[in-house]
Amino acid sequence: MKRVLFTTIIALCFISTAKPEDEFFTRPIVVSTPNPGEFKTHKNLVYLDTAEGRTLADIFLPTGSDKKQAAVIFVHGGPIPKNLPAAKDWQFFQSYGYLVASAGLAGVVFNHRFNSLNDLQTANGDIRAAVEFVRANSEKYSIDKDRICLWFFSGAGSFVAPFLSERPKWLKCMAIYYAILGPEVWENTGEKVPDAQRVGLDPFPLLESKSDWDPAFFIAEAGKDNAALNAGLQQFAQTALINGWKLEYWNHPTGPHGFDLEKDDQRSREIILRTINFLQVQLDPNGENE
């Protein structure tokens, strides 16, 4: 029963089984966000055409400035069943887009095709395409293509490794919230990852060598989450720190998976707002990362 409940939480990307689904999709994060009318938005941008249809993205931009903005690209988790509303349209991700725009950054939310553990490689390709779309259209949308942070949630931790492998100079930081960091962690939680889907998705060996590429990591752990999932986050942090990576680690002791939606308390808000501050520092063109 515990495994079934955990799989349900992961599959629905922290949908609480205690609440109606229609309520879930309209619920924002626990930090108050400004009125969406205060920002410039570009909705339903087609970043990839596939045989299954078009995959879409939204971009949120602060107003009142003509300069290019650093971007935060939100990567939703999964697997998400195909019959659910598109993740980018959930109020959860929309409210995160508003929040980073209010902090003077561009926010990007998008859909990718992570519908089952047989789709890891497909979703990885979609994520790469979304990032390249943002960078290729940076002039059009007033984005600084060389100052980007990726923010991974839940099952999206599966897609951290390819960026660690490539080490792109434009990637200044990563935020990682209650994430499943690769095939080994999936299997430690009781899920079977097909061999063909495992390729290139193990992040842990990639932390053991560090060149002049020096992004920072922000990790948030939900204390009440699956123990194997949290062990993966802790292993990642320990390996990173031993090898000289910059890392900030926060724990919500009483937080469930998806605490930024499910636990409206001071600690949840503190972690979210600290993450926003982290993003502003790491993406500051006049800061130490210049």
Give the Cα separation of 230 and 3 in Å (integer).
Answer: 15
41-64 per-position pLDDT tens digit: 999 999 999 888 899 999 999 987
End-to-end CA distance of the chain: 50
Question: What average pLDDT does this structure show over 79-96?
Answer: 95
Tokens of 141: 């949308």
User: Counting Cβ atoms within 10 Å, is residue 169 exposed (0-12), middle (13-18) or buried (19+)?
Assistant: exposed
Question: How far from 118 is each of 165, 197, 256, CA to CA, in Å?
Answer: 22, 6, 26
CATH architecture assignment, domain 2-282: 3-Layer(aba) Sandwich (3.40)
Please state the pTM of the whole predicted model. Answer: 0.93
Instruction: Return mean pLDDT, the chain.
Output: 91
pLDDT at 2 over 70: no
pLDDT, residue 21, reads 57
Question: How far from 25 is each of 91, 189, 246, 262, CA to CA, in Å?
Answer: 6, 26, 34, 12
